[in-house]
Each structure stands twice: as C-alpha cells, then as structure tokens.
A and B are shown apart, each in its own frame.
Chain A
Amino acid sequence: MSPTPPPATRASAKKELPEHFRDYKHVWVFVELERGDVHPVSWELLGEGRKLADKLGVELGAVVLGGPGDATKEAAAEAFCYGADVAYLVEHPVLADYRNESYAKAMTQLVNAHKPEILLLGATTLGRDLAGSVATTLLTGLTADCTELAVDADGSLAATRPTFGGSLLCTIYTLNYRPQMATMRPRVMPMPERVADRVGRVVTFTPDLNEDEIITKLLRFIPDRDSNKSNLAFADVVVAGGMGLQSAENFQLVKNLASVLGAEFGCSRPVVQKGWVTSDRQIGQTGKTIRPKLYIAAGISGAIQHRVGVEGADCIVAINTDKNAPIFDFAHIGIATDAIRLLPALTEAFRARLSPHQRDRLAG
C-alpha cells in the first residue's frame, strides 16, 4: 500500500529553485550612509539579518556604498560591531551623494558579482527609491515595508507586512527568484547590542561607474534645520494628542505636558489634516513609528493605522472619555476621563514629582 500523499497546501506552490539561482547564498543588509551618517535602521536590520543568517547557517554581509573616505570605511567597521561577518565596501567618487542612477547601478553590479540569497534595505526614502529599481533590474520579488522577517523550515524568507491600510497583515514569499528582497520599516525592530571589538572581513568592490554617464546632478542639499529638535522616532517619552482635544488651542495642552517631561509631542493623522500640527509629528502607518519607554495618548481613538506606529512602546497610557475606545485594547494603562481637564493637572503633578528638589529628597 502506498503511503498517502500529504494534503495539498498552498506551500505546494513551491517549485524547484532554478539551477542558476542555486549558488545565491548569504544574507545582505544595505547600510544606508547619507552625508556621513548611517541611518539607524541599517543597524536594526543587521540585528534581524543576524538571526536569519544564523538560522540559515550562512554569512551576514553589510553593503556599504559611498564616496572614498573615512565615513564610508567607518560605516563598514561599525557594521561588524552590529553583527556583520563581511562588509562589501564599495567606494567611488560617483557614490558620494545618493542618486538613484549611480546607486542602482553599483548595487546591481555587486549583487550579480557576489549573489546574495536575501537582500534587506530600510524602508526610508532612500531605501525605497533604490530597492524598486534594483528589484526591477534583477527581475526579482520585493516585499516592501515589512514589520517582521523570518525564514521558514525550507529556508525561504517569510516577509510580513501590513496590508489594507494596516487592518490586516500578510506574509509574502519570493520562491523562485533571487535575491529575495525586502524593505523594513525603521523602529519596528529593536536596536541590537553594539559589540565594540567585533571584527570581520572586508571585501572591496569597484563598480563600473562614470560621472559623465550619470545624468542627474545634485545641486544642493538643504539639511532639516530642526532635525535635531523633532526627534520623535527616537524619543524615550512621547505625548500625543488626537481629535479628542477638539481644537488647536487645546492641543497646546499636549505640548505643555511634553515640554515639562522633556518629551517629544506627536499626533494622529486627522490632527495634521486639520492643520493643528505639522506632518512630521504624525504617528502611525503613514507617519512615524515610535518605540519610546512611555507613550501617553490623549483623545486618540486607537485606529489600527495609529496602533501600528506605537505598538513597540514599553508602556502605553491612554486618556479617552470613551471606555470602549479601541485604544484601551492595546494600552497598558487607561483612564476614562476628559483629557482637556486632565492634561493640565497631569502636567502640574509630573512637574512636582519630577522636580530636582523632589529628586534630592528621594536620593537623601
């Protein structure tokens, strides 16, 4: 008697990987270096990449593209501290500033030369701009804006991302093409521990690039003047307000509390649409993802598109008059009361509690 075949599942969609893709190995993370600084999402990705590489039993490579110079080399050295085994160092004057044409060319050449099986990039303006071009050139699959990565039992990358405005999640595979590409949202993954004395192998690569062939020219770069002020994505404490505050004047109560706490303030999307607050303060799916130690949400209903941006917070405190508001389904601490009345009292109570005088008393 022949054994019964396993029931057909969707996974049986898996065909054999074509021969020419078999030698694609290792997990790569693109290290996003812009104007001398590495975007932190690159380190977050190395943390994730490390887990995937260990599970697959392969190397973790960091790809560093940039102009010739210390910043580029330092970024490669730093990548080892965050877990890379190998750094692919691609230095070229044409790569001094990000431009789609030159970066897409260099990246595609590097992939074709060294053949990674997985290639991860941050879902930033740079990463998304680059990933789409590279994937189309290589004719492979790309899963955008992931919130979770894993390798399944047969070694395929399972990339999970929100869909339908965040109301659902879906897991996407690229089974028969290589590399399997994904972009990952910043701040979704925790920052891995930095190991100062960790080292690795540097592989240098010289791309075939020529400035005369690159049509797009960077005329100027205008840095965000207040970029060190609006540090929402990296703040330890965030206070945010929603439509429950009812007016731009009342929104000031949120700013006051944030100011007393030394915190950043944020808001839900309709608050931006009303023009009470600028769009760089919006938290959620189409705004910023935050991972503070404490998040205080006042007058925010907790729609799924807002929720996906705040779920990484250690402690979520919700103030909402409606005790059935969805925000109480994922907040840790809730109070069903009028935020417009509570916020000024909370500001005063925190001020008293956290004052230096109070601190001395606690110490003494």
Chain B
Amino acid sequence: MKILVCIKQVPDSAQIRVHPVTNTIMRQGVPTIINPYDLFSLEEALRLRDKFGGEVTVLTMGPPMAAESLRKALAIGTDRAVLLTDRFFAGSDTLATTYALAQAIRKIEQTFGKQDIVFTGKQTIDGDTAQVGPGIAKRLGLLQLTYVSKLVECDPDKGEVVVERRAEGGVQVLKTAMPCLITMIEGSNEVRRGAFNDALRAARAEIVTWSAKDAEIQDLSKCGLKGSPTIVKKVFAPQPRSEKAAFVEPGKTAGDSAEALIVSIFARHPALEADMTKLASGL
C-alpha cells in the first residue's frame, strides 16, 4: 500500500505567551513540534504499512525549517518525506493551503506512484480549523472519513475500508472505497517511539524539497495571500474581566470554610438555592 500523511509543524501553543502590554504573541524561543493530532494519523499509516507492506510518505507545506518535523517523522519509521516550501505560499488560508497540498499530492503520485490513502490530522493546534483534510479530499476527489476512532478493516485487494467514525450521538460504522482521506481522532492509537535504525536513517535521509515550480503548481494566484478568500482583520487578546473574584476567607476548620462559601454563593445568586435543592433531590 502507498500511504501519504500530511503533517504540520506548529508552535507548542502550551508555551505561547501574550505580551501583557502590547497584546502580541511572544514567539521567541517557543519550540516547534509536529502537530500532536497528526501523530495519530501517522501511527495508523505506519501500522497499515507494517501489515500490508508498501510505503508511507509524509508531506508538509511550510518554511524550510519545517524539515525538522519531517525528520522527526522519518525517525519514527516513515519511508519518505516531502517538503513543499516557497514564499508564494506565505499567508495561505485553508482554501489556498488545500490547493497547494492537493497539487503537491498529484505531483507525488506522478513521481512515486498512486496513493491508496491520504491521512491528515483531525485539526491543527495553531490553525485549529479541521478543514484542510476535507479540502484536500474535495480537490482530489477522495472519499472523506473524518474523526475516525478505529480502522476496523482494510482490504487493499478489494480497495475497501471499514471505519468507526465519531458522530455527535454515537459512532457511525462506514464502509467506503480507496482512495480515501482519513483523519484520526486523539487516543485512537498509541504513537510509537522510533527504532534506533530509523533514527540513524532519518539523520542522513534526503528530504525531497519542492518549490511551487518543482511541484508544477502553475496557478500562483490560487496560492498564499492572493489565493485566500479570508482576511484576518484583527488579532487581539481576550478582554480580561474587570473585577477579580470575591474572596471568601477560609475559616478555622474546613467545615467553617464550606459554610462560608455556600453562604457567599447563595447571597450572590439567591435563585440558585431553590434550583439546586430540586436538582439535589433528583426532581
């Protein structure tokens, strides 16, 4: 099987701080990581390869330093890595991103063969839109399976897959045909640690690096800022609440503190007491 996985290098948002005075993001020194959700998709791809043979290619679009993430992916066992990098892609929104990635996937298929499954992450932690997967699927005419919690069956000979997909009130069991695009949800598998050999290989591996021209992306008006229908007009910090919490002084015992707290809650929201009495008695 040939499987392609789209990954994105993202700033580790747990470590992003907003400058208290200027309200701008302080990016300095914020480490970058592979988007955590992409790892569940990558793991699933590697498992399929281990089972059926074939190869897994990872693809990312980003600045040259995104090669670091590709190397990390190689180090856990990916066979090939492709970096799509060009200043024409700067400022891409999801529509422009899916245009460039879909073109690059076409080029990958020309160069390295037809892909049976394309995986993307459920969503990124910086863009957080969960749209790039569906966008790629639409552009390439792939059947789309998002929020997959389990790959139940995969039959490369028949070209069929059966998955469990998380819906709002339950789980859909869906059967579809390859080629298809799948996004896995978190916790659907345990991401492997790379083998020592893979780490060695990754350090030396060549990363296929393509500009827009290399990937035969002709229509540059569909890329970057130009190709993005959405415009970010304003970025701002959430409005801080003007008043701090009213503090209840802890009492001598925990019991005293509890009493004081309850008095304070009901003093502030008198209607709550009746509501909560009902709720507590299961009415």
Q: Which of A's residues lie within 8 Å of B, judged by CB?
A: 10-11, 13, 32, 34-35, 37, 39, 97-101, 104, 124-126, 128-129, 131-133, 135-137, 139-145, 158, 161-177, 215-224, 227, 236-237, 260-263, 279, 293-294, 304, 307-308, 314-318, 323, 327-337, 341-342, 344-346, 348-351, 353-356, 358-359
Contacts and interface: CB of A to CB of B under 8 A. Distances in A.
Contacts of A176: 229
Given A101-B143, A263-B279, A125 B248 contact: no
B144 interface: yes
B217 interface: no
Interface string B226-268: 0011111111111011001111101001110111111011001
Contacts of B265: 294, 315, 317, 333
B169 A35 contact: yes
A342 B93 contact: no
Contact of A172 (B164, B232, B269): B232
Given A218-B172, A261-B276, A333 B268 contact: yes
Contact of B175 (A219, A337, A345, A351): A219
A292 to B, nearest CB: 10
A98 B167 contact: yes
Residue of A128, A129, A222, A345 most packed against chain B (CB within 10 A) = A129
B276 A354 contact: yes
Contacts of B132: 132
Contact of A163 (B137, B235, B245, B255): B235
Contacts of B186: 279
Nearest to A259: B280
Given A136-B98, A164-B13, A279-B187, A222 B261 contact: no
B167 A350 contact: no
Contact of A173 (B176, B233, B275): B233
14 contacts: A100-B144, A100-B146, A125-B146, A132-B94, A140-B95, A165-B16, A165-B128, A215-B176, A222-B164, A262-B279, A332-B245, A335-B260, A349-B255, A354-B280
Given A145-B129, A216-B174, A294-B265, A335 B248 contact: yes
Interface string B46-83: 00000000000000000000000000000000000000
Contacts of B277: 354, 356, 358-359
A97 B168 CA distance: 13
A315 B280 CA distance: 18
- Which 7 pairs across A and B sit closest by C-beta, in order of nearness? A132-B134, A165-B13, A334-B245, A141-B229, A345-B254, A141-B230, A132-B131
Interface in B195-219: none
How would you classify the secondary structure of chain B's contact residues: helix, strand, loop or mixed? mixed
Interface string B126-155: 101111111101110001111100000000
A137 to B, nearest CB: 6
Given A100-B144, A135-B95, A222 B14 contact: no
Contacts of B137: 133
A17 to B, nearest CB: 12
Residue of A104, A262, A304 most packed against chain B (CB within 10 A) = A262
A131 B123 CA distance: 14
A218 B233 contact: no
Contacts of A170: 232, 234-236
B191 interface: no
Given A315-B265, A335-B247, A329 B240 contact: yes
Given A132-B131, A170-B232, A263-B279, A222 B171 contact: yes
Contacts of A165: 13-14, 16, 125-126, 128
B250 A220 contact: no
Residue of A164, A317, A337, A354 most packed against chain B (CB within 10 A) = A164
A158 to B, nearest CB: 7
A133 B144 contact: yes
